[in-house]
């Protein structure tokens, strides 16, 4: 017996957010306008880095496979107190621009090769939308090459080793404060290529 369709089930709500975001127009990451709101976003790559050749091919005709998915919540949203109204916050635009700066700093990436989609979402649905997008696409910078979304931890707060992202795409000044990883760049590149081969 088939279960009756429930449009308000979590799965249905998540699908609605994912579908709506994928209907938005892709915008060059280097040309994101200032706008208000919080929500979710997906970043796409079509550049020449050899580790991502399958990703480039998959996105050649249309942007279908994101390299990274994330969310931006209003100030105070993580703790649930004094949450800034979604109509005044610039959390989503600021977060996307922050990613643009990380890519500009990388020595082997060109921001002209990146495109982004975003969707302003009511605060309560942002985590659901992000997790649904990650679950559906399993982007390589979410699943395998950690660290793209990291922030400068500030002086005296260095803990652990340099992220895989900062090892593969060196350039962010603050990331050099972390001890180097034991794995090689070529090893990470091989992992990326194998992961994409298994997914695409």
Q: Which two tokens stand for residue 99?
A: 């990613």
Side-by-side strand order, sheet with 27-28: 27-28, 114-120, 39-45, 68-72
Q: For each of the chain's 200 residues, which pLDDT tens digit applies?
A: 677 777 778 788 888 888 998 899 999 999 999 999 999 999 999 999 999 999 999 999 989 999 999 999 987 655 555 555 556 889 999 999 999 999 999 999 999 999 999 999 988 899 999 999 999 999 999 999 999 999 887 766 667 899 999 999 999 999 999 999 999 999 999 999 999 999 98
Predicted confidence at residue 79, as pLDDT, reads 55
> Which letter does DSSP use for residue 181 in this model?
P
pTM summary value: 0.90
| Beta strands, E only, 50-197 | 68-72, 114-120
Contact (CB, 8 A) for 165 and 117: no
**Cβ neighbours for 172, distance < 8 A, ≥ 6 positions apart:** 102, 105, 106, 152, 166
């Amino acid at each position: 017996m088939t279960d009756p369709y429930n449009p308000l089930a979590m799965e249905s709500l998540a699908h609605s957010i994912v579908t709506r975001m994928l209907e938005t127009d892709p915008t060059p990451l280097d040309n994101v306008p200032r706008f208000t709101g919080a929500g979710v976003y997906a970043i796409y790559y079509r550049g020449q880095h050899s580790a991502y050749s399958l990703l480039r091919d998959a996105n050649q005709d249309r942007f279908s496979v994101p390299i990274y998915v994330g969310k931006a919540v209003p100030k105070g949203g993580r703790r649930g107190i004094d949450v800034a109204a979604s109509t005044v916050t610039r959390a989503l635009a600021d977060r996307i621009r922050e990613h643009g700066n990380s890519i500009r700093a990388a020595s082997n990436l060109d921001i002209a090769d990146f495109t982004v989609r975003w969707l302003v979402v009511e605060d309560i649905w942002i985590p659901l939308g992000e997790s649904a997008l990650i679950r559906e696409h399993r982007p390589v910078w979410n699943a395998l090459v950690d660290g793209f979304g990291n922030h400068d931890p500030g002086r005296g707060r260095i803990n652990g080793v340099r992220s895989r992202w900062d090892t593969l795409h060196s350039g962010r000044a603050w990331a050099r404060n972390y001890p180097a990883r034991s794995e090689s760049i070529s090893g990470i590149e091989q992992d990326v290529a194998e992961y994409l081969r298994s997914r695409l």
